[in-house]
Copies of this chain bind each other. A is one copy, B any other.
Amino acid sequence: MNIQLAIKQHQLELLFQQGSYGLEKESVRIWQNGELATTPHPHIFGNRRFHPYIQTDFAESQLELITPPNKTVHDTMRWLSAIHQIVLRTLPEDEYIFPFSMPPRLPNESQIQVAKLDNPADVAYREHLVEIYGKKKQMVSGIHYNFQISPEFIKQLHQISGQKESLVEFQNALYLKMTRNFLRYQWILVYLLAATPTVDAAYFRDGSPLKAGQYVRSLRTSRYGYVNEPEVVVSFDSLQEYVKTLEHWVSIGKLQAEKEFYSNARLRGANKARDLLASGIQYIEFRLFDLNPFEAYGMSEEDANFIHYFILLMLWLDEEGTQESVQLGKARLAEVALENPLTETKFKAEGVAMMDKLLAMLDSLHAPISVKNYAQSKREQFNDPSQTLCAKVVKAIEEVGSYEKLGTELAIKYKAQAMEHFFCLEAFANMELSTQTLMFDAIVKGLKVEILDEQDNFLKLQFAEHIEYVKNGNMTGKDSYIAPLIMENKVVTKKVLKTAGYNVPDSIEFTDPEVAKASFPLFFDKPMVIKPKSTNFGLGISIFQDGVKDKEDFAKAIDIAFREDKSVMVENYLTGTEYRFFVIGDKTLAVLLRVPANVEGDGEKTIRQLIEIKNDHPLRGDGKRTPLKKIVLGDIELLQLKAQGLTPDSIPAKGEIVQLRVNSNISSGGDSIDMTDIMHPSYKDIAVGITKALGAAVCGVDLIIPDYTQPATDSIHSWGVIEANFNPAMLIHIFPHHGTPRRVTRDVLEMLFPEMK
């Protein structure tokens, strides 16, 4: 069938451009001095037996970072970014990720440790590889690009074809065509994207074949890279042939296992090639790609998109390809890989012709203009080799002095970049920070993370067969449904807590202002809060901290409250300081004090300057994408200063605290201070009890405590609970302004997956 015609006639352009994408990126850990880090794979990354994202490849020092498959290239790149940020922030302080495919300065082979995997067979296989290829060659890294054609596209095309072959056969034929053509034209991607022009001489067992100052396009994909012996030829003419030839090489011991067949395109979908006959080819693993050292994560999104369309072109082409063309392609690759990157390629004409076909296809598909422009710029690189990635790498190496030095400098820079916004995952910045932090911890731990709804901060976490769902960082299946319903209703919360014997401020609800005012005697001389039943932003609240003395004042407060709601609560005012207790199950994990926005004087700077300096802290920002909020010098703050006889230009004395707000909300620039270790344990027990009384698994309990150093008594003068929250903020504990950080997201994960502890 003519695939181009079928797409055009049946308007399948969009479907053709859909698919699934996944990346597997190897790279080695190095020390600041550029040497391979010979430390073990960090224990914190959990067990490699199951870790879905952070693995080691051949060596203990060789990280393999794996994205889940995604429906868009963009999402795959986001995952690649997130996993990198997580790894970089979690590595020991003096460890970095080397950005080149070719290894850094290597120690003696004896110091390179083969990956310490649980499965003895895996270790034995690696020992075998050492024998055949040597440890140094094994340190070569790359990016594997997994691509699945949209199953719906295949289905529709199969229907259109009207051929008798089964859907699976049809699908296998498509994937084989794609693979053969890819192997035929892969040299083009090497010309455009290769980035391994050189390597340390010590890399070669028998001395470097490169002359001094000689650069090539891609050592990695050349015969000096990590490739099979040339005689190992596997046929892609049909799936049957593929299975037969591959099994042949294994049976005669030329390959230790099928996975030792290092083709630049691998047929995937089953563990054993033979099983593909039944299951069908599900996707192709393209293993051609050198790490791009100028990209923090090894590949740019533009290139990932470009590769996608290049692969599509392999399907789009009229030619079906044959095993002969595959062999031809491999030969060309071998030549191009060792060309001088600053010169034109021998096969320029074929390259330009293919790029024109690609551009024509992009036109036919109505592909995005950005993709077309990028493809056009790639086409230009056939005329101007200096614009190829490899040429740019050579230039940079020459500027810096050596590729090891360049690699080390870039590694240090990329780690610094990853540390900058250490509290978030930039690729997922549109989710709540707490969800980002939970994802961070889940990925470190080796839980499978799936984002079910990004806007809704809805995650699916999985370990083996065990699935848990999490919304907003800590809303989970561990809480019973009634707990949040109770907490959502302040009246019900109070009744439940009171019945359970906890100190709650007494309150009376009024729906008639006159009845409320006439009730003054009930409250005379007692400290009271008068507030609308549903209070928002503190509107309509009056506090009589020292007792309501005057009937008129009381009546005024009632009127103010009734302006905001049809129901008004008159509630006992508890004197003391408010603390937030973060509880999971049987334990108070964190206690926090929130302090109103303030600055501390140094006897030299103005209040305005002090605010600027305080705002400069990386934790402070808009309060959504940052754990703390910048202090604003707004009307309220100016009034507050005025009340103290100050202006923004006043210079407070050294050590003097200038308060800029009355309310202690973090959202108005307040400070968060961790008190977990100094809070008397009796209050932590009370917070746990309250959590249990509400039937909650995760709870933020607000207690008013006059003296946190004294043990709690039964009296409401010792403590009182004013609120319980079913989706308590976690960031304030994880990134406090002052005091010990409490990584409560980790506790949420331990609650959900106790078996991983």
Using a CB–CB cutoff of 8 Å, the interface residues on chain A facing chain B are 10-15, 152, 366, 452-453, 456, 458, 460, 468-471, 475-486, 489, 491-492, 495-496, 518-522, 524, 695, 726
Contacts and interface: CB of A to CB of B under 8 A. Distances in A.
B476 A477 contact: no
Contacts of A470: 482
The listed residue with most B CB atoms (<10 A of its CB), out of A14, A468, A469, is: A469
A645 to B, nearest CB: 40
Contacts of A468: 482
A501 to B, nearest CB: 13
Given A456-B489, A460-B495, A470-B482, 8 more contacts: A13-B521, A15-B521, A453-B489, A458-B492, A469-B492, A471-B485, A476-B481, A477-B483
A511 to B, nearest CB: 11
Determine chain A's interface SS by DSSP, over half rule: mixed
Nearest to A366: B518
Contacts of A456: 489, 491-492
Contact of A479 (B15, B480, B519): B480
Given A521-B12, A521-B13, A469 B485 contact: yes
24 contacts: A11-B524, A14-B521, A152-B522, A452-B491, A452-B495, A453-B492, A456-B489, A456-B491, A456-B492, A458-B485, A458-B489, A460-B496, A468-B482, A469-B486, A469-B492, A469-B496, A471-B482, A475-B481, A476-B482, A477-B483, A477-B695, A480-B481, A481-B481, A481-B726
Contacts of A152: 522
The listed residue with most B CB atoms (<10 A of its CB), out of A475, A482, A486, A489, is: A482
Contacts of A518: 14, 366
Which 7 A-B pairs rank lowest in CB-CB distance, beginning with the nearest? A11-B521, A479-B481, A477-B482, A477-B480, A452-B492, A469-B482, A471-B485
Contacts of A458: 485-486, 489, 492
A521 B10 contact: yes
A481 B492 CA distance: 18
A477 B481 contact: yes
Given A452-B491, A480-B480, A489-B453, A11 B475 contact: no
Contacts of A522: 14-15, 152
Contacts of A483: 477, 481
Contacts of A484: 481
A486 to B, nearest CB: 6
A695 B478 CA distance: 11
A517 to B, nearest CB: 11
A19 to B, nearest CB: 14
A478 B480 CA distance: 7
